[in-house]
């Protein structure tokens, strides 16, 4: 169990994704499906991120059936739902975040962050006004001798979509969240993003626009905690304040982020641009991800329902960073492993309730 938790910690913080900065010979125009990185200043600054060599998946460039359904549906709300559901499936996910300027004239731009992994997105709930999508990583790696290792599986983030949502979760900094009334809801969808342990991260809302080449959703300005790629190495700002744009495309989907780095209460530090690109893949083995989810989903159901009770009954909550020298995700991942063997829902419910209760902090200072 100890070795498992160490591995899970490494996966979550580094995501164990491959890093490849080689583009080959210079060309005037390059097929976008053949590129790993879209943003780059590699000639003058090395990137940071994953260093593991991954098994490269086969990119599927055919127009997806999901995209065809959006194009051939007339109801606006139904198009919205199909666009959200089109994010499900098997993907190669590339993440790149580049700091682009700072407030100080001598601001030191941080190294660009680049990582990638193979990820399946599962629809875990789909009703008239609500859709929930669970991301799960399944990664094969290559060692120095070229031997394939794995699969390595990691429950990743979750996104919940609600139609005409009347309550929006707002991050305040200092591990504090508040829930505020939202009135301008006609035709809008909220996107709530949750951490790998299903604790809340951020939420915003916007409306979908559907065109021949893409379906797009643009968020309102959203405050969010520092991402894992930042909070272990940066202490000069307290939160990100940004806008997300999601584009559903024939070959997959893209999430763009334009983020400002803010020091509470209102000091601008710098800005970054982020791009998460989900390309559909084929002939890649995600069975380990589905096996993991099938064996633990009832545990994670309990975690989600526990958080639902908190979010529906409270208008403010705060979380401790650690309990017993471990972050929340380490507690939940260990409990999920125990559940795989015991399938004891009663024991799991008691453990989940106690764990989340221990992490809730009324003082908002730990």
Per-residue pLDDT averaged across 32-44, rounded?
Answer: 80
Per-residue pLDDT averaged across 99-105, rounded?
Answer: 93
Higher pLDDT, 304 or 53: 304
The reply to whether 317 falls in a domain is no
Residue 264: how many other CB atoms lie within 10 Å? 11
The per-residue pLDDT for 9 is 45
Identify the band that residue 54 occupies on the pLDDT scale cut at 50, 70 and 90. Answer: confident
**3 state DSSP class of 332:** helix
pLDDT of residue 250 exceeding 60: yes
Confirm if 248 and 86 have CB atoms less than 8 A apart. yes
The reply to whether 329 falls in a domain is no
Q: How far apart are CA 141 and CA 227, in angstroms?
A: 24
The reply to whether 169 falls in a domain is yes
Q: How far apart are CA 139 and CA 120, in angstroms?
A: 11
**Which one, of 162, 203, 201, lies nearest residue 185 by Cα?**
162
| pLDDT tens profile 1-15 | 544 444 444 444 444
Confirm if 330 and 8 have CB atoms less than 8 A apart. yes
Identify the band that residue 42 occupies on the pLDDT scale cut at 50, 70 and 90. Answer: confident
Dump the DSSP string for 203-271: EEEE-EEE-SS-EEEEPPPEEEPPPHHHHTT--S--EEEEEEEEEEETTEEEEEEEEEEEETTTEEEEE
The reply to whether 293 falls in a domain is no
Per-residue pLDDT averaged across 201-221, rounded?
Answer: 97
The per-residue pLDDT for 25 is 53
| pLDDT tens profile 86-99 | 999 999 999 999 99
pLDDT of residue 62 exceeding 90: yes
Instruction: Tell me the pLDDT of the chain averaged across its residues.
Output: 90
The reply to whether 201 falls in a domain is yes
pLDDT of residue 24 exceeding 60: no
Per-residue pLDDT averaged across 161-190, rounded?
Answer: 94
Per-residue pLDDT averaged across 37-54, rounded?
Answer: 79
Distant-in-sequence, close-in-space partners of 164: CB < 8 Å, separation ≥ 6: 129, 185, 186, 187, 188, 189
Structurally, the chain folds into a number of domains equal to: 1
- Choose the weakest-confidence range: 146-155, 209-218, 293-302: 146-155
| pLDDT tens profile 133-158 | 999 999 998 888 888 999 999 999 99
Identify the band that residue 131 occupies on the pLDDT scale cut at 50, 70 and 90. Answer: very high
The reply to whether 158 falls in a domain is yes
The reply to whether 328 falls in a domain is no
Q: Is the peptide bond before 230 cis (omega within 30 degrees of 0)?
A: no
Return the sign of the alpha-carbon dihedral for residues 263, 266, 271, 276: positive
Task: Count how many residues are written for the chain.
Answer: 366
- Choose the weakest-confidence range: 17-26, 78-87, 340-349: 17-26
Identify the band that residue 44 occupies on the pLDDT scale cut at 50, 70 and 90. Answer: confident
| pLDDT tens profile 263-289 | 998 999 999 999 999 999 999 999 999
Q: How far apart are CA 350 and CA 335, in angstroms?
A: 11
**Which helix H or strand E contains 92, and what residues bound it?**
strand 89-102
Domain that holds residue 109: 7-285
The per-residue pLDDT for 10 is 45
Residue 345: how many other CB atoms lie within 10 Å? 13
Identify the band that residue 40 occupies on the pLDDT scale cut at 50, 70 and 90. Answer: confident
- Choose the weakest-confidence range: 22-36, 54-68, 229-243, 349-363: 22-36
Report, in this order, helix, strand and coil percent for the chain, each rounded to 5: 25, 40, 35
Q: Residue 361 corresponds to which tokens in the numbers above? A: 């902090």
Q: How far apart are CA 283 and CA 92, in angstroms?
A: 12
Sheet strand arrangement including 167-173: 167-173, 176-181, 316-318
**3 state DSSP class of 49:** strand
Confirm if 209 and 228 have CB atoms less than 8 A apart. no
The reply to whether 309 falls in a domain is no
């Amino acid at each position: 169990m100890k070795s498992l938790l160490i591995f899970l910690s490494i996966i979550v913080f580094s995501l164990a994704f491959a890093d490849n900065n080689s583009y080959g010979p210079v060309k005037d125009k390059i097929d976008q499906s053949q590129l790993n990185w879209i943003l780059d200043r590699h000639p003058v600054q090395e990137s940071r991120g994953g260093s593991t060599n991954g098994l490269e998946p086969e990119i599927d460039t055919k127009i997806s059936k999901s995209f065809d359904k959006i194009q051939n549906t007339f109801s606006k709300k139904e198009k919205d739902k199909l666009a959200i559901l089109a994010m499900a499936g098997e993907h190669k996910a590339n993440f790149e975040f580049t700091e682009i300027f700072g407030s100080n004239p001598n601001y030191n731009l941080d190294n660009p962050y680049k990582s990638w992994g193979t990820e399946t997105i599962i629809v875990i709930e789909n009703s008239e006004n609500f859709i929930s999508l669970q991301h799960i990583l399944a990664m094969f790696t290559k060692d120095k001798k070229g031997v394939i290792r794995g699969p390595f599986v990691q429950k990743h983030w979750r996104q919940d979509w609600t139609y005409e949502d009347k309550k929006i979760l707002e991050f305040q900094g200092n591990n504090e969240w508040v829930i505020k009334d939202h009135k301008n809801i006609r035709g809008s969808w909220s996107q709530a993003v949750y951490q790998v342990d299903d604790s809340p991260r951020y939420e915003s809302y916007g409306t979908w626009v559907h065109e021949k080449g893409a379906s797009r959703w643009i968020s309102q300005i959203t405050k969010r905690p520092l991402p894992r790629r930042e909070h272990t190495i940066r202490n000069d700002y307290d939160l990100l304040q940004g806008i997300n744009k999601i584009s559903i495309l024939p070959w997959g989907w893209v999430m763009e982020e334009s983020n400002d780095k803010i020091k509470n209460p209102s000091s601008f530090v710098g800005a970054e641009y982020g791009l998460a690109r989900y390309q559909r893949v084929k002939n890649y083995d995600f069975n380990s991800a589905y096996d993991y989810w099938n064996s633990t989903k009832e545990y994670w159901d309990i975690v989600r329902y526990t958080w639902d009770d908190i979010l529906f009954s409270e208008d403010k909550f705060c979380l401790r960073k650690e309990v017993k020298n471990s972050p929340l995700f380490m507690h939940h991942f260990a409990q999920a492993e125990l559940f795989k063997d015991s399938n004891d829902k009663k024991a799991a419910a008691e453990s989940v309730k106690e764990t989340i209760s221990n992490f809730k902090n009324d003082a908002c200072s730990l």
